[in-house]
Every structure is written in structure tokens, then in C-alpha cells.
Structure 1
Amino acid sequence: MTFLDDSLLDEIRSRAPGYDRDNTFFTEDLDALRAAGYLAAHVPTDLGGAGLSLLELVREQSRLAGAAPATALAVNMHQVWCGVGRVLHDRGDDGLDVLLREAAAGELFAFGISERGNDLVLFGSATEARPDGEGGYRFHGTKIFTSLAPAWTRLGVHGLDASDPDDPRIVYGFVTREGTETKDDWDTLGMRATQSRTTVLDGAHAPADRVVRRLPPGPNPDPFVFGIFACFELLLSSVYLGIAQRALDLAVETVRSRTSMKTGDVYAHDPDIRWRLATAAMDLETALTQLHATAADVDAQVDHGPRWFAKLAGTKVRATETAKDVVEAAIRVSGGGSYFTRNELSRLYRDVLAGLFHPSDDESAHATVATALLGPLP
């Protein structure tokens, strides 16, 4: 059973080329997804949502990405925060139930974590978190890659509270648009409709009831951090594997319809093309199996202990690298027509390359897995 019906996905697919060409935000897609209840799909039913599991949401995000990758990637950031709330809720922590209720009521959450040059990601921040004296914080700094920039109503951010030099804390909270500035600086190779613009925080306020964690800098087993890492990596993976599936489907259609002047036969009968597409399909199936199994483990609250982070990072890298390879294989067998911007495969190729830049990157993932296997470096 699926949540997003095929007619809605076809409608969304029809708008994707225009958003990409004009470098515009996916306003109509967002309105349609909101009307379909998709922004509350992962919210538990008792909090006003549809109650989809993480595995079910992963599958839906792949389908959405097959229609419009940039739309799926941007919506992902809202779904990640819903996922964090759901991870905590399912484990008996109601600290983010307010977020889940607000998502069900129509608020749109964006992800304000990425910072230029911050390779610590969740474990450090160049943004200042200044105590307001009443349990809340004002954030000062710059966040990059803020997807949903034109439309979000709640922004999840983190910053460093260094007011006590002996006990610095990474503070996570949710702010509104007051005290923020959105730069009009999004003009990229791919994923253009996400409009993931730079956000300047100049005193953006998270009152005490919107401050959700104060954690020591560095790796932390807190369930909130696990929720961010798990939902970000797995939902991200679902988008890129959805792109790969769409590219493979397009390639199959193409080689079935094109005829070789040399042999007079359709390219679908060419042994080299058959081998290349078969390899791509097998690799895609392996990556999807890994993704779905890992998402199911999050749903089932399987205890992988400290190995969780290696499993999640490995799943993300396998997904994004496989997706890139599958799209490239699709282009190779589809011929020179795929090099034109009017060809959907051309756009899919530009979009799939964005997967290289999301954390965890290839290097950090390998380091994480090596540490899990061999222990830390001396």
C-alpha cells in the first residue's frame, strides 16, 4: 500500500523540469503534498498524523524522488525532524511531541545544522548560542544548505554555549523567522528547486520550551543525536536510490525503443548493454535491501549499540555511491540524447551528484566503520 498516489506523483513530475530550468522553489508541489497530508505522514496517529513507520516513509520518499528529486530532498528535511520526534516518542520520550503536533497542524520544519567548514557536524558548531537568562537562547551565526528556505516556519538549529568555559554545551533549539535573514544565493548544478539558501542567524530566539538539548561537544549517545543521525542518513539514502530507480527505468525504456543501424536490432538485445543494466539493477537492489533493513531496525528499536553509527554511515555512502553509478550506467546505454538538458536523465545526473556532499561523506564513513571494526587510532 502506498501513501502518495500515482496521479499526484505524475503531477509533481510534470513540474520538475520547470523548477530546475528557472531555479525556482517547488511551491505548487509543497501545496499538493501538504494537502495530501504528507507533511504529517510520519507523525503518530495519536498526535494527529498518518502514523507511517520509518520504513514506510523511506519507501514513499524514494517514490517521490523518482518523480522530482529536488522536491523530495527538500521535504526530507521536514521529515527528518518528524523522524527525530518519532524516534523519541516511540522510546517513551515525549520531549519532541510538541514538534510532531505542530507538524500535524501545518508547521514546516527546516534543518539548520550545516555550517561552512564545520566537519564536526553535530558534534561542534561555529554558531554562538547565547543564554537569554530565562532558559532560552539567542543564536548568532550562519547556516548553509537550508533547504525549504522560502517556506519554512520552524528552523531546528544548533550552536555552542561557551558562557561557562569549564562546561561548554552544544545547544539544540527551534527558532522562527524572527532574527533570521535568508540569502538569495542558491544557483547550483543540481537540486535547484530545494532553494537551500544560506541563513544568517542574528539573535534568532529559541525560548526555554523550544530548547531541546544541551549536550557536551563531541560524539554523544543521546537518543536525540541518534534520531537526527538515523533519520537524516536513511531518508537521504531513500532520495538518492529513488533517483537511481527512475534512471534505470528510463534506460530500460530507451534501449527497448532504440534500434541499431549496424545490427538492425533493438539495443535491448545488445549483450554489452544487457550486462551493464543488469549490473546496475543488482547493485541498486543490494543498496535498497540494506536501506530497508536498517530502517526496519530503527522501527523495531534493535540495539546495535555503538555500531549504529557505522551502520548508518555505511548505508548512506552505499546508497549515494550506488545511485551515482546507476545513473551513469543509464546515461551510457541511453546515448548522446541524454546529454541534452531537455532529457530527464541529464537532470537526474546533476541531481544525483549532490549526494556526494551530504554527511556522512565517503571519507568520514570509512573512518567510522574502521573505528567500529578496529578501534580508535592511537
Structure 2
Amino acid sequence: MLDIQQAPSKPPQTTGWLALAEALGPQLAESEQAADISDQYVLENIKRLKEAGFTAAGVPTQLGGGGASHAEMCNVLRILGQHCSSTALALSMHTHQVMIPTWKWQHQQMAVEGLLTRVAQEKIMLLSTGGADWLNGSGTATPSEGGFIINSRKGFVSGSPTGDLLITSAIYDDPTAGKTVLHFALPMKSPGVSIDSVWQAMGMRGTGSHTVLLEDVFVSEQAISLRRPAGKWHPAFHLITLIAIPIIYSVYVGIAEAARDLTIQNAQKRRDDDHVCYLVGGLENELTNAKLVQQQMIAIAASQSPSIETTNQIMTGRTLITQSVLKVVDAAMEITGGLAFHRPYGLEKLFRDAQGARYHPMREEVQRKLAGQLALGNTPEIL
């Protein structure tokens, strides 16, 4: 297995992202706890991370960024997830939108320097609607002179209060090709773009995952970066899966680690109870599984190319991490007992935040169908 914990040797200005995350994590935790209680966005935490360089950490050094690898950024988010779940998840949505063009620049020599340079120099923050839209897309794109008029409600846009550029899509009913998803980047300050502050959730309350409204927004023809049939798999999604899913699910591994540490601390006073030892052993098994799968997903992203096979591997990992993370926080509640039910103790928040692992694509039912089709030699129909 690849030693993904060892950071590559780099000049001093591009090293230390993991150590910096370790140092900042506890400082960010208090602010996030307040945001969780009040359903407020973790604004100050995102500002501090931006000032520390984390929003540009994954941009290549040649383009003015921090030069952090995909593996480094996954583990940065795992560490931040241990201390501040919402902050880490909001940052992960920006991070994967940085690491995807970085991969294209490094592996395909694509002309994405403009976007990455802006992330580094202007410190812009990217927003994603990919999880909510996924293959089907949403909203309408009506032809207009020189482009399209977009109308849509984009839900679950994590980090929306501090976002600068929305990476999104809409559906154009092409008279020849049929329903076609148009992909484009849209400045949040564009006329007709607004935020509907509706985010009141069980967990991840500080992510600011509000709904972004697009009302008669003009997008030029030149701004369309991709056209694809609605509801059907496109090769671009193999790259999205390869890069984004390990980044996002690293946050949930961090949450599970935090729940474990809190549980072990409390269980010390019952360390001679065989039943407690048995329960803690089960928790340790599940956390180990989540961490091993996370490492394997990162290794796949570092060594393999986007394909249906790698998508299957990554999405299988997504299911396995979800299962183990949820078992960890459930076991933590059981082992800790009634104290876990008290919000000030902190385990209740970790339990709630971990539930978000259920909802990113692909959900388990769809993933299992894909894995079964490939194992049996069938042509996947669900993608």
C-alpha cells in the first residue's frame, strides 16, 4: 500500500499543511460549536483558513498556490474534521473544485491556469452544486442571443455565504439532441443570483449549505464548458468521482476519529469491564476499516486514471466508509451512555454531523447495483 501519510519533500513554503491543520483545528472548534447552536455559517473559520492559505493550498506552486497534493488535502480535511466538522465539509467542497482542474493541468495539460491563478492570487472560493445535480442536472437553460437564460434553485450549496464562483449546470431542451445538461461557472455577484438562507439541518449546521437562486441569469455561449445528455453517465464524472469523493469522505473519517477519542477518554474509568472492552474493540475495528478504506481511495486517486473501474472502486469505498463511520458514532453513543445525550459533552454533535455521510452520491443502493453489474460482466445501465 502506498505510504500516503508521508508528505513529499518540498521547499519550506509548500510544506506543513498537515501540521498547520493540527495547529488550527482546536482554535476553530469553539467558533464552530457556536455556529452549530445558532444555525450560523462558520464564517470566521473560513476567513482564518483562507488567510492561512488553505483555499489555495492545492493550486500548483507554478501558478502561485501551495502545491499540496491530493493526498495531503484529503488528510488536511480529515484533521480538520476531527475538530470542526462543518468547517471541514465546507472547505472540502471548494477543495475538490480546485483539485479537479489541478489534475487536468497536471495530467492533461488543459488550459485551466486562469481559474487556478485566480484561486491563488484573488483568494476566490469555489462553490459546487454537483452533488445535488449529479447526472440529471436541474433548472432550465432557455436560448437567448449569445447564450442562455438560466432559471433554477440549487440546493445544498455548502459554503455559499463566502462563495465567489458557482460551478453548476442547467438543462437545455435541445430540439435535436434532446435534454442536454450545460455546465458553466457563474460569479455569485451576477445579476439574478441570490442566496435563500434555508439551511436548518440535523447536522453539519455550520456549513451554510443554503439554496442558491438563479433567476433569469444570462450565461454566454462562451461560458459553457461542457454539454452532455441529461441523466446519462459522462466521462467527466469519472474524474469528479476519483478526485472529489476521497476529499469529501476524509472529513467523515475525521469525525469518526474524534468520536473515538472522546469515547476512549470517557471509558477509561471502566477499562476493567469486559463488556466495555468488547464494545470498544468493535468501535476500533470499524474505525480501522474506515481509515484503511480512506487510504486506499487516496492511493487509487494517486495511481490510477479516471474510468468505470476506478469509479466502482471509489464508490465502493464511499459506501464502506459510510457504513463504518455510522457504526463508530453509534457505538460511541452506546459505550458512553446517557452522557452522550447531553449536547455540551460533544458526542451528540459528532453523531449528528456523521449522518451527512449518507447523502453524497452515489447512495449505497445505486453503488451496489453498479458493483454487481460490473462483477457479473454486465454493461452498467445506472450511470
Specify the alignment match of 1:331 in structure 2: 333
Instruction: Please tell me whether residue 21 in structure 1 is matched to residue 37 in structure 2.
Output: yes
Closer/same/farther in 2, CA of residues 215 and 97 from structure 1, 3 Å limit: farther
**Number of aligned positions between the proteins:** 361
Instruction: Please tell me whether residue 155 in structure 1 is matched to residue 171 in structure 2.
Output: no
Specify the alignment match of 1:367 in structure 2: 369
Instruction: Please tell me whether residue 267 in structure 1 is matched to residue 280 in structure 2.
Output: no
State the alpha-carbon separation in 1 of the partners of residues 207 and 21 from structure 2: 22
Specify the alignment match of 1:227 in structure 2: 239
- 2:186 partner amino acid: V
Closer/same/farther in 2, CA of residues 294 and 94 from structure 1, 3 Å limit: same
State the alpha-carbon separation in 1 of the partners of residues 143 and 295 from structure 2: 41
State the alpha-carbon separation in 1 of the partners of residues 312 and 243 from structure 2: 14
Q: CA deviation at 1:8?
A: 1.2
Between stretches 137-146 and 90-99, larger displacement belongs to: 90-99
Specify the alignment match of 1:187 in structure 2: 200
Closer/same/farther in 2, CA of residues 7 and 295 from structure 1, 3 Å limit: closer
TM-score normalised by L of structure 2: 0.88
State the alpha-carbon separation in 1 of the partners of residues 274 and 218 from structure 2: 61
State the alpha-carbon separation in 2 of the partners of residues 87 and 249 from structure 1: 34
Specify the alignment match of 1:350 in structure 2: 352
State the alpha-carbon separation in 2 of the partners of residues 232 and 147 from structure 1: 14
Identity %: 21
Whether contact under 8 Å (1:42, 1:83) holds in the other structure is yes
SS in structure 2 opposite 1:342?
A: helix
Specify the alignment match of 2:129 in structure 1: 112
Instruction: Please tell me whether residue 199 in structure 1 is matched to residue 179 in structure 2.
Output: no
SS in structure 1 opposite 2:108?
A: coil
Q: CA deviation at 1:221?
A: 4.6
Of 232, 244, 256, the residue aligned with 2:256 is 244
Q: CA deviation at 1:216?
A: 2.7
Closer/same/farther in 2, CA of residues 304 and 16 from structure 1, 3 Å limit: closer
Q: CA deviation at 1:132?
A: 4.2
Spell out, residue by residue over 1:181-232, the C-alpha distance to the aligned partner (whole angstroms, 9 max, x if none).
Answer: 211211111110011111111133444453221123344453x322222233
Unmatched runs of 5 consecutive residues or more in structure 2: 1-6, 8-15
Specify the alignment match of 1:259 in structure 2: none
- 1:110 partner amino acid: L
Unmatched runs of 5 consecutive residues or more in structure 1: 116-120, 257-265
State the alpha-carbon separation in 1 of the partners of residues 245 and 369 from structure 2: 16
State the alpha-carbon separation in 1 of the partners of residues 273 and 216 from structure 2: 62
Q: CA deviation at 1:30?
A: 0.6
State the alpha-carbon separation in 2 of the partners of residues 377 and 26 from structure 1: 40
SS in structure 2 opposite 1:150?
A: helix
Spell out, residue by residue over 1:222-274, the C-alpha distance to the aligned partner (whole angstroms, 9 max, x if none).
Answer: 3x322222233111210111100010011111111xxxxxxxxx312222222
Whether contact under 8 Å (1:237, 1:315) holds in the other structure is no
Of 23, 28, 35, the residue aligned with 1:7 is 23
Of 324, 338, 341, the residue aligned with 2:343 is 341
Q: CA deviation at 1:39?
A: 0.3
Specify the alignment match of 1:254 in structure 2: 266
Specify the alignment match of 1:79 in structure 2: 95
Whether contact under 8 Å (2:238, 2:307) holds in the other structure is no
Whether contact under 8 Å (2:203, 2:353) holds in the other structure is yes
RMSD of aligned Cα (Å): 2.0
- 2:130 partner amino acid: I
State the alpha-carbon separation in 2 of the partners of residues 82 and 17 from structure 1: 27
Write out the 4+ residue segments of structure 1 that deviate beyond 4 Å after TM superposition: none
Instruction: Please tell me whether residue 138 in structure 1 is matched to residue 158 in structure 2.
Output: no
